[in-house]
Amino acid sequence: MVEKKALVLKIYVYVVFLIGLSIFLYILISYKNISLLGVVLFGMLIFIADNLSAPLPKTGSVSVNFGISLASLILFGPSTAIIVTFISIFNIREIIKRIPYYRHIFNAGQYLISMGIASLVFELMYNREVSNFFNPVNLSYILAAAYIFFFLNTILTAGAISISEGIGLANVWIFNFAWLIPFQLFLAAMAIAISFLYRLYGPFTLLFTSLPLIIAQYTYLLRVKERRALLNSIMQIVKIVEAKDPYTAGHSVRVAEYSEKIARELKLNEYDIELLINLANLHDLGKIQIDLSILNKPGKFNQEDWEEVKKHPVVGYDIVKEITFLKSEAKSILYHHERIDGSGYPYGVKGEEIPLFAKILAVADSYDAMTTSRPYRNARSNSEAIIELKNNSGTQFDINVAGAMIEILKREMAKS
Ligand SMILES: [Fe+2]
């Protein structure tokens, strides 16, 4: 099964690459009017822009690349635009990171197909004889080129994700890419501004049109890096917390993994999924305040111990709510031990008062507790976990969230 999927993916990648390469060569042969100045200037810009783009969760990157490619298409035609696009394929970070070669091949193929077809259609329609740059018909072709590129680019990428993750193409596309539709409008406007000023006043206008965007993009990249550095240091603290209690080693990472699976089953968007993973990693951060002698107690907890343990969601919440990019959902940490029927802690809130992320954390957390060995009992099997999840649905666990976890487990059991 896994081998078949890998083979289909490989065939897909090579087919995309070969089609992309053919379109690239076809354009170079059919449109010989390459602008050397265009290639150098726009090639340089796109190379800088691409290497300063910030990665998005799983779905590629936010980048102004296409705006630059499209401007070169409007100014110089398909052959220059396709070479500029070709240059954007070389990303130093990806080469240094040694990402697998088929990812390079796929990216190259899908960019060449998307930009190639958008360029060919554009060139057939766009009237270069019209003197008014803002001719509405011509502008509509620029917009058409932007969206042809967008749909081909995202559908081809969604295809690869769909094959490798075994999720329907439409689902992958809607949840990963649909939200980017308005952004394409911004890129088309940017291309129009770049090419209009370039035509009117010459190449130096690029300093005013593209560079500010590239700088904005670089600032965003720095912010993403800063965020990652902060998360890394927090993860170090989580490891220290887990080291205090040998029975929970690796617990937070596993809870994050299960939370992600549940979130995907519930079809949350990528931004929410990333936020949830970060929160799941930190959900037991508050245990940092619990006394070592309690955590390592071999027998059952007494009332006093329990009172101490019950404070950890509050302590964790107090820390996480101070982190800017996590605070919107920090309450999920506060409520991760609450139960639907109100019998949980620390506050005994119930039902819809508990946020969705907290309900997901609760199921992921309990599933991990069920399936790992504790001093007082052995690990339970997946079928036993399913029964337990079912029995406690609607009382301890949210019915939908527990249902999602049961579906995931059933699927995994059927596969093995
Ligand atoms: Fe906890």
Which pLDDT belongs to residue 366? 95
Q: Give the residue among 235, 331, 322 at the shortest CA–CA distance from 285.
A: 235
* Pairwise CA distance, residues 212 & 235, whole Å: 35
Higher pLDDT, residue 248 or 162 = 162
159 domain residue, yes or no: yes
Instruction: Please give the biggest Cα pair distance in the chain.
Output: 86
| Residue 68 maps to a domain | yes
- Ligand 1 centroid–CA 39 distance in Å is 57
Question: Residue 393 forms beta bridges with which residues?
Answer: 397
pLDDT tens across 310-338, in order? 999 999 999 999 988 888 899 999 999 99
Mean pLDDT, residues 269-291 taken together: 87
Claim to verify: residue 74 and residue 186 sit in the same structural domain: yes
The values of phi and psi at residue 54, to 5°, are -100, 135
The overall average pLDDT reported for the chain is: 87
Taking the alpha carbons at both ends of the chain, their separation in whole angstroms is: 11
- Lowest mean pLDDT of 104-108, 142-146, 396-400, name the range: 104-108
Q: Which residue has the higher pLDDT, 372 or 358?
A: 358
Does the structure show a pLDDT above 70 at 62? Answer: no
Decide if 389 is inside a domain.
yes
Which residue would you say has higher pLDDT here, 81 or 234? 81
pLDDT at position 181? 84
Per-residue confidence (pLDDT) for residue 58, from 0 to 100: 46
* Number of separate domains in the chain: 2
Surrounding ion ligand 1 within 5 Å at CB are 284
Q: How confident is the model at residue 63 (pLDDT cuts 50, 70, 90)?
A: low
Instruction: Answer whether residue 94 shows pLDDT above 80.
Output: no
pLDDT of residue 246: 66
From the CA of 117, how far away is ligand 1's center (Å)?
53
Could you tell me the distance, in angstroms and rounded to a whole number, from the CA of residue 347 to the centre of ligand 1?
A: 14
- In the reported structure, the alpha carbon of residue 407 is separated from the centroid of ligand 1 by a whole-number distance in angstroms of 24
Tell me, what CATH number does 369's domain have? 1.10.3210.10
Could you tell me if 237 and 199 lie in one domain?
Answer: no
Same domain, 349 and 386: yes
Summarize the confidence of residues 260-284 as an average pLDDT.
Answer: 89
Give dist(CA 324, CA 311) in Å, integer.
23
Helices (H) and strands (E) in the chain, counts: 20, 2
* 25 in a structural domain: yes
Q: Kindly state whether residue 220 falls inside one of the protein's structural domains.
A: no
Domain range enclosing 308: 230-415
Q: Is the pLDDT of residue 262 over 70?
A: yes
* CATH number of the domain encompassing residue 188: 1.10.1760.20
